Structure 1
């Protein structure tokens, strides 16, 4: 394998890694926002006292 082909292959790998990192970062940000929105929704629910405990009977 010549130097030019090796250089191009390494460059392509680097670009793919950067793109993968960006996609992962975006998905992590979205998951964080969804979690924050879910927590906020639960805090402001119409009946916040409901669901605080579970009664179990056998």
Structure 2
């Protein structure tokens, strides 16, 4: 196989790999921003209010057996 043909056959794979890395970096950036937003929300909010918002059905009823 000559060098020109080998270069042409390897190039699409390299482009696909670079595109995948670029998408991965964007996803990582988005995840980092979301994590920072959640961390800021937790630090600025009341923890009990956050727990109540996450699970609003807990703590409203008590089952008693006599």
If the length of structure 1 is used for normalisation, what is the TM-score? Answer: 0.69
Q: What are the ranges of 5 or more consecutive residues in structure 1 without an aligned counterpart? A: 52-58
* Equivalent in the alignment of 2:38: 38
| Alpha-carbon distance in 2 for matches of 1:39, 1:32 | 10
Q: Deviations over 1:13-38 (max 9, x none)?
A: 11000000000000000000000000
> Which 5+ residue runs of structure 2 have no aligned equivalent?
52-66
Q: Distance in 2 between matches of 1:37 and 1:24?
A: 20
Instruction: Decide which structure has greater helix share.
Output: 2
The match for 2:6 is: 6
1:54 paired residue number: none
Give the direction of change, closer, same or farther, for the CA distance of 1:10–1:49 in structure 2 (3 Å limit): closer
Structure number with larger C-alpha Rg: 2
Name the CA shift for 1:40/1:4 in 2 (closer, same or farther; >3 Å). Answer: same
Alignment-derived partner of residue 55 in structure 1: none
